[in-house]
Structure 1
């Protein structure tokens, strides 16, 4: 499975180093924007639940379709990058996201549940194209010993986007709609639902405009690209080895999968949960202010984790964070009122380092297999699609008990940190030159 990543970048001149730093700056802006857009869904889902009168299963199915895009689009994205190059693919991904954002306008005018789902799938496809190369690129652009620290640091800008998105969505979607300002459980008239559906037009029009501007900036920027010559050479080398002999990758793929179930499951049902009378007793318009704290905890956790991993091993930090996540999830399930609400908010801090740390541990020691390993880990992001299972559990057993699924995910991450992440058959890193 070819994927345009690099296994090691060793610039021979200071100008190359400056080019790499500038490239990381551009990539940080991409991490920010796709985090921002992804979390707008957290305010969009309770809104759509009221507009289309959905149960929890159909509500979470919307987010499942979003993450199915990672599974379906990862391989085509890698092939597109191989064909047109890294920089043009970034521009294509941003423009694809802009098209999907504009599709939300007619979807809200009809309004149509399936047209909304289609528009979100298009946006997610653009994000997948951006993700396919960005994560492994950041992970291997410097010293292997600090790869987890480096990716956690850049992912903190993703968390910054996720922190600001609830304010944006809460103010421009929920605060401007009847469903967002009504008491929990209120039933809207058909006229109110039709009016509410159009509340998404302004925010997605703004998002589309920002994406187009960012695409122009990226198109004008001089980013380094991998030479075709080196891609052919690495393909020959890869045939001498097997991915399945690397325990850290074999167990890392399901670790990414379940980590995404946990992260997305919490954020998607967060507003619905803390709005319950027995938990936070608030409107959907007020709840995003607390969602901001959840994502803010992820940003703080990634900056903090980046620092801690320069002192202790990534596996040790991942183990302690997974234990913390399990503890607060059990409190969320067993407690009530503000205790349950604040424990759910706190899980963002513990989830913060999971994805970037598992990713870097998963590709550790792969050498010439780094490209395929990165592709498998990127596809594993589709685990977020199984959030529909939590929606199904919420409909059957109640929203609060459905968070037991998240607690189970934390146990697997702990297993990965303690044993599954240990590399086997470590291969030497190959050197790949970049061409401007």
Structure 2
């Protein structure tokens, strides 16, 4: 009887939420202004993934060293998320957006001297500043979207907004393919080691010029969005709250759904960034392709991610989001195992399918963790954005597994390089298992 009652309750919640507009009419203009920011950081996130193989080739460094790109990028999220929460708390969501876009523009300008000086370290600093802006944007925009309507549709609304994020990601991949990766000199490491310093500097100059083009070009778009927000009269809810910081954190960390959500988001973002970072290398090794050819498979993975994101937004009208996420997490584990063990093209299909499995996870974890937090939602949002640090930690660990071949003994019948990249996908299996556990623990609508 209790199970039947729970089932009826879940059906009633689903039916009621399906009749409520995801975005009320009075908020739609503000919603689509925020969606433009979702698309922008999606574009930048995925261009950043392609910088890992690009810088490995340009600066002739190991996989684990090139993954410092992700450490700088996602490490900024951990550093700036909490200051962003204070900005929103003291001022407003609108000010948070303006600050975030400002940091992005400063960081993107830093690519110019980094390219002129051919300095990998200066690129890392510029990436950190750029990503600091994105951290402020994500800390601001995600809870703002949640607030633009009824609580019953908050998770669907965030999934809807996040659905524009991979559209930007797709645009970023095309920019990376045709502007960055296509302009890499075909000379490999051995050939570059035989070049004179003058020849190598000339090649790097050209390659780094094309690295700068899309990032500096996007400054214009960011500036237009900045001006629109600056001139707008958003009728947003006041960002300030009476609750003290200590009170807010006490309440947050007494809520298992919240603090477990932060932990889960750490592992989810880690698996997303790690899988996408090493997808191109996996394709290059298993298919024998070069960078700008291998990125085509990455693009297919992103298309699948987008398609499943939209499908999931629709299905959430009828199914409990946490239960859907549990199914997708289990599918992600199976796809990772296929990527490790299956030979031939089918392993590539499994790798691409991982992106489909990840499609609903970030906004769903985010929405579940923040549900019902009330006044402390801004600090709660900051904690979830800080969890993006997972991308800065798990990605280089996976890079170390690729370099060291530490788990290669667990498979047979492959070359050393292929065994290393395949067995590195045991790490995503662990991450998906954490997401599965969270989904099952908080699968009931009212938990």
TM-score above 0.5: yes
The TM-score range, normalised by the shorter chain, is: 0.7 to 0.9
- The one-character-per-residue Cα deviations of 1:161-203 (angstroms, maximum 9, x if unpaired) are 1122111111011112214xx5x76643424334322221322
Instruction: Tell me if structure 1 keeps the 8 A contact 2:93–2:236.
Output: yes
User: Once structures 1 and 2 are overlaid, which stretch shifts more, 337-346 or 256-265?
Assistant: 337-346
Identify which of 118, 132, 137 aligns with 1:130. 137
Alpha-carbon distance in 1 for matches of 2:64, 2:370: 34
Aligned residues: 403
Q: CA deviation at 1:224?
A: 2.5
Tell me which residue corresponds to 1:40.
47
Alignment of 1:325-344 (within 5 A): 325-344=332-351
Alpha-carbon distance in 2 for matches of 1:149, 1:384: 25
TM-score (norm 1): 0.87
Alpha-carbon distance in 2 for matches of 1:53, 1:206: 26
CA RMSD of superposed structures (Å): 2.3
Task: Structure 1: state its 5+ residue gaps.
Answer: 1-15, 427-436
- The one-character-per-residue Cα deviations of 1:3-57 (angstroms, maximum 9, x if unpaired) are xxxxxxxxxxxxx954411111101110000100111112222111011111111
- The one-character-per-residue Cα deviations of 1:290-347 (angstroms, maximum 9, x if unpaired) are 2111122221111111111111101110000101111111111112332222211111
1:417 aligns with 2:424: no
Tell me which residue corresponds to 1:216.
227
Tell me which residue corresponds to 2:401.
393
Instruction: Tell me if structure 2 keeps the 8 A contact 1:43–1:169.
Output: yes
1:195 aligns with 2:189: no
Instruction: Tell me if structure 2 keeps the 8 A contact 1:50–1:193.
Output: no
TM-score (norm 2): 0.85
Identify which of 254, 275, 282 aligns with 1:245. 254
1:273 aligns with 2:282: yes
Alpha-carbon distance in 2 for matches of 1:297, 1:54: 31
Instruction: Tell me if structure 2 keeps the 8 A contact 1:105–1:201.
Output: yes
Instruction: Tell me if structure 2 keeps the 8 A contact 1:174–1:284.
Output: yes
Tell me which residue corresponds to 1:431.
none
- The one-character-per-residue Cα deviations of 1:52-90 (angstroms, maximum 9, x if unpaired) are 111111111211111111111111112223344322331
Tell me which residue corresponds to 2:428.
406
User: Once structures 1 and 2 are overlaid, which stretch shifts more, 151-160 or 413-422?
Assistant: 413-422
1:98 aligns with 2:109: no
- The one-character-per-residue Cα deviations of 1:361-415 (angstroms, maximum 9, x if unpaired) are 1112333443332221121111111111111111111222111101110111111
User: Once structures 1 and 2 are overlaid, which stretch shifts more, 232-241 or 354-363?
Assistant: 232-241
Identify which of 256, 263, 272 aligns with 1:254. 263
Tell me which residue corresponds to 1:324.
331
- The one-character-per-residue Cα deviations of 1:242-266 (angstroms, maximum 9, x if unpaired) are 2233221121111100000110001
Alpha-carbon distance in 1 for matches of 2:249, 2:333: 41
Identify which of 72, 80, 95 aligns with 1:73. 80
Instruction: Tell me if structure 2 keeps the 8 A contact 1:101–1:208.
Output: yes
Alpha-carbon distance in 1 for matches of 2:250, 2:78: 24
Alpha-carbon distance in 1 for matches of 2:46, 2:353: 17
Alpha-carbon distance in 1 for matches of 2:24, 2:342: 51
Do the aligned partners of residues 187 and 271 (structure 1) sit closer, same or farther apart at CA in structure 2, a change above 3 Å counting? Answer: farther
